[in-house]
Structure 1
Amino acid sequence: MHIELPEKRYYSIGEVARAFKVNTSLIRFWEKEFDILKPKKNAKGNRKFTPEDLKHLKYIYHLVKERGFTLEGAKIHLKEDKKEALSNFEIIEKLEQVKHQLIKIKQHL
């Protein structure tokens, strides 16, 4: 999945939900279900997601929405191969970004 967000330190839950094309309630639910998600909260209690949180959300989205894992299955998968799976996923994400850029270049030619 390719999401387009500007380079920032923190993203609001609304920005994140729009980027993933899901409801904010799903993001909040995943935050409760997955220990890997730890967005910061400001004085008002608003969630602020870092780029690292976005990487984790992309991986959870990939497991649950694209690969069809159940929540329990995704939790088990994250616990078993956390570092290796995340690094492999990041490599795949970078390759998909390169592919996306190449497609854009090809369309402009």
Structure 2
Amino acid sequence: MSEHLPSSELPHIPSKRYFTIGEVGELCGVKPHVLRYWEQEFTQLRPVKRRGNRRYYQHHEVMLIRRIRELLYEQGFTISGARNRLLSEGGGEEVSAVSVFEGTEEKIITSADIKQELAEIISLLKPCSLTA
């Protein structure tokens, strides 16, 4: 068995707002220390950091990690080559936007984000209301 699963065998990404570094590692077939290294190498990869510097990744970042993994592990790109490929695929605009707001904790929350989070909270509370 090879060390890295092909992209086609990676698990489905569940629909939730944030993923921990451990969850992302399992979803992408990459160890947490590799994810931390990739954060330094790929400026597009900016997980939200909260309490105790814990990283929380959003769905688009999980997709980006899968793309980076595919470039490095399946297509044989170097880190530099993968970085250049991502920039040529349109990631350049994202990089400049990130660099403008680098270091700020402020986030723009859309109504869709709020609806999704409320739906998750309701689904967590439903089992409690049945037992009361």
Asked whether the two chains share a fold, i.e. TM above 0.5, the reply is yes
Give the Cα–Cα distance (whole angstroms) in 2 for the partners of residues 11 and 38 of structure 1: 13
**1:44 corresponds to which residue?**
52
Partner amino acid for 2:29?
K
Give the Cα–Cα distance (whole angstroms) in 2 for the partners of residues 5 and 30 of structure 1: 20
Q: Does 1:66 align with 2:74?
A: yes
Q: What TM-score, normalized by structure 2, do the two folds share? A: 0.59
2:22 is paired with a residue whose SS is helix
Partner amino acid for 1:12?
T
Gaps of at least 5 residues in structure 1 are 84-109
Identity of aligned residues (%): 33
Q: Does 1:14 align with 2:22?
A: yes
Structure 1 residue 7 displacement after superposition: 1.4
Higher gyration radius (CA): 2
1:4 is paired with a residue whose SS is coil
Q: Does the 8 Å CA contact 2:47/2:56 hold for their aligned counterparts?
A: yes
- Aligned-pair RMSD on alpha carbons? 1.3
Gaps of at least 5 residues in structure 2 are 1-6, 92-132
